[in-house]
Structure 1
Amino acid sequence: MTTNKILGKQHLGFQWQTEDPFLITVYHKDLYPTGNEEQGVDPKYLVGRNLGEDFELRDGFRMYHGDSVPGFQAHPHKGFETVTVVQEGFVDHFDSTGAKGRYGNGDVQWLTTGSGCQHTEMFPLVYSDKPNPLELFQIWLNLPAKGKSAKPEYQMLWAEDVPVIEQESVNGGKSTVRVIAGRLNGKESLEPNSASWAKDPNHHVGIYLIRMEPEAAFTLPTVSETLNRNLYFYEGDTIEIDGEAIASLNRVKLAGDQEVNITNGSKESYLLVLEGEPINEPVVQQGPFVMNSREEIFAAFQEYQQTRFGGWPWGRYDPVNERDAGRFAQHSDGRIEKR
């Protein structure tokens, strides 16, 4: 058992460093203006932007790979999973299996890319009479070798269904935890996809979003000595762990074999915790593909060039749903979920 609860710290940038079984985490927070008739950005905001590759924060937002509607146009993935947690705003999903949907305001999309698929993540500005702020995390979770040949699969973890823990501390400050994956304080998450590393509870995969009121306290339990556990303090002032003050915008690597007591300071704080047993397989990532060897990466690019992972059935590479579509998921088998 390690004696130190804090094993390392690192300042947060645009792309957050992770550890096996996670690959990367990206945090998007964009203050988009009112939408035009196409649910896009008024052209007056687009002058001087490097459209198609706009990652510079201007006027409070970025366009990413979008030209009118911000977001990420059709692109391929293979060999890992994306867990997209939308705190505010909406995302339109279309993919090469024929599935599509719109989700947001607390919803989570769990996408297993497996043997390969194309998809979009567009950020429609659905409101024409008020701003369209967007806040989301995209977490890349690796697949073990056997999962990299799995059939692509996606499911929605709707906001209303995600388990929530509310805990009062002695002084009255409350902590609220959304359990996206894993088991915490007797609450168990919704079921992950079938090929996911998170499917086996012995892998201890946890994804927890924590909001702490001023002076609130929360404890992460002991799990295992081999667990990789990282806390991302992305908004607030200060928290205290093991007697050490931690400023916001820091990643804190924590011991997995000890209880970790977190005490908030005088301002509301927001944290993301990612933890899990490592897969302990070679990782070779090139662009949108994550495999176990360079030979497999080369084969993945060849396969995509030859098959386009089933092609693209949507006519355009940046499709969006109708403005009044609401939150829904239409799966490749025709099944429709509405919220």
Structure 2
Amino acid sequence: MSDPTASPILKSSLVAKATLDPFLYCVYHKDAYPAAKDDSMEAPRQGDGQDFNPVAPYRMYHGDRIAGFPKHPHRGFETITATVEGIIDHSDSFGNAGRYGNGDLQWMTAGKGVVHAEMFPLVNKETHNHVRFFQIWINLPACSKMVEPSFAMFWAPQVPKWSPEDGLARATIFYGDYLLGGDAATGERQRNPNTSPKDSWAFDPEHDVAVIHIVLESGGSIPIPAAHGGSAINRVFYIVDGSSSGLTLNGFRVKGKMITVDASVDLTISMSDSSSSVDMLMLQGKPIGEPVSQSGPFVMNTPEEVKQAEADYKATQFGEWPWPRRDMVFAQDKGRFSLLDGNETVPPT
């Protein structure tokens, strides 16, 4: 049993650049794109055109006229795109597409291979086009590396939220069974209504995968129960906006941007009354525990498998690209939608 008086913090890092198994990668995109000047939805290039300039108000990334990531391949893992603000246009080599954002969650299993584009069109003419979202890569075990690709969309009204009565804390439970309540008498926990694609490592509840965006205002606090899988689970917090100054876990001061904790311990995360707000992302899950060999957008178990992925992509392009442009975007006035297997759906009102 863990000592309740001991610090739950196992490790702190000043730089938040690493993820722990089963996650491969996580990046927080925050860009202040201007209002659209016309119907082209293009963002003006700025300065010397550095696509990833960290001090620029916004980035073009690999986009030329429209910011974003034109068509590119993936194999062997999944992408989880958890949005906070702004719009993303998705298109892929299987004919699936979508416009989503403002709290929506997109989950894509690349499996044996898919090509997709993620673009940030300027849809607003009267106001700014701010974009904030998390792009998270979660690994697939060897038995699922070559499954058929799949695509799922969870609209913002379907994503559970949590906040205390004082309103000084907010949590968006993009994935996982935390802060959802349950039956205290039986110990049965309430399930998150959103379920990952069936081939995902996250699909099995025993793997205890969770993705939670937390915002703490001055004086706010949030309870995070111990992981269902206890110390067998990797649990990490990332400070993505604001400072960790004034932030404590079970009364222990937090230092740095990446905080690895003992997942078997119940947590109370608090912000002091004299501090400003802070945004955090919690990632947790049971490790897959398999070797990882990666080259760019291909993540396999061995270098030989990566070479095969590169050869397969060169030979097949993972299917024909069915869209008229490599940086596919949709009509400026089109609302959020999801096109899956030829069937279009829109968010619930």
Could you state the TM-score of these two structures normalised by the residue count of structure 1?
A: 0.92
Specify the SS of the correspondent of 1:188: coil
1:175 deviates by: 2.2
Q: Which residue of 2 aligns with 1:143?
A: 140
Q: Which amino acid in 1 is paired with 2:68?
A: G
The CA RMSD over aligned residues, in Å, is 1.6
Any residues of structure 2 matched to 1:242-261 within 5 Å, and which? Answer: 242-247=250-255, 250-261=257-268
Specify the SS of the correspondent of 2:163: strand
Partners of 1:107 and 1:317 in 2: how far apart? 24
Any residues of structure 2 matched to 1:224-243 within 5 Å, and which? Answer: 224-237=230-243, 238=245, 239-243=247-251
Q: Which residue of 1 aligns with 2:325?
A: 316
Percentage identity across aligned positions? 40
1:244 deviates by: 2.7
1:58 deviates by: 5.6
Q: Which residue of 2 aligns with 1:219?
A: 223
Specify the SS of the correspondent of 2:219: coil
User: Could you tell me whether the CA contact under 8 Å between 1:220 and 1:260 is conserved in 2?
Assistant: yes
Q: Which amino acid in 2 is paired with 1:5?
A: P
Partners of 1:209 and 1:197 in 2: how far apart? 20
User: Could you tell me whether the CA contact under 8 Å between 1:173 and 1:217 is conserved in 2?
Assistant: no
Partners of 2:104 and 2:49 in 1: how far apart? 30
Q: Which amino acid in 2 is paired with 1:22?
A: F
2:173 equivalent to 1:175: no
Aligned equivalent of 1:336, options 330, 344, 347: 344
Partners of 1:314 and 1:131 in 2: how far apart? 28
1:59 deviates by: 4.6
Partners of 2:15 and 2:339 in 1: how far apart? 35
* Matched length: 327
Q: Which residue of 1 aligns with 2:52?
A: 55
Partners of 2:34 and 2:270 in 1: how far apart? 36
Q: Which amino acid in 2 is paired with 1:78?
A: R
Moved more, 63-72 or 210-219: 210-219
Q: Which residue of 2 aligns with 1:22?
A: 23
Could you state the TM-score of these two structures normalised by the residue count of structure 2?
A: 0.90
Specify the SS of the correspondent of 1:48: coil
2:90 equivalent to 1:93: yes
Specify the SS of the correspondent of 1:27: strand
1:301 deviates by: 0.7
Partners of 2:47 and 2:332 in 1: how far apart? 25
Partners of 1:313 and 1:10 in 2: how far apart? 44
1:154 deviates by: 0.7
Q: Which residue of 1 aligns with 2:150?
A: 153
Partners of 2:336 and 2:263 in 1: how far apart? 37
Q: Which amino acid in 2 is paired with 1:11?
A: L
Partners of 2:73 and 2:31 in 1: how far apart? 24
Q: Which amino acid in 2 is paired with 1:202?
A: E
2:1 equivalent to 1:7: no
User: Could you tell me whether the CA contact under 8 Å between 1:163 and 1:180 is conserved in 2?
Assistant: yes
Question: Where in structure 1 are there 5+ consecutive unaligned residues?
Answer: none
Q: Which amino acid in 2 is paired with 1:235?
A: D
Task: Give the number of the structure whose residues are more often strand, by fraction.
Answer: 1
Deviations 1:244-297 (A, max 9, x none): 3225x6110000111122111232221110001100111111100100111111
Q: Which amino acid in 2 is paired with 1:226?
A: A
Q: Which amino acid in 1 is paired with 2:107?
A: W
Partners of 2:156 and 2:19 in 1: how far apart? 25
User: Could you tell me whether the CA contact under 8 Å between 2:28 and 2:240 is conserved in 1?
Assistant: no
Partners of 1:120 and 1:334 in 2: how far apart? 18
Partners of 2:149 and 2:313 in 1: how far apart? 14
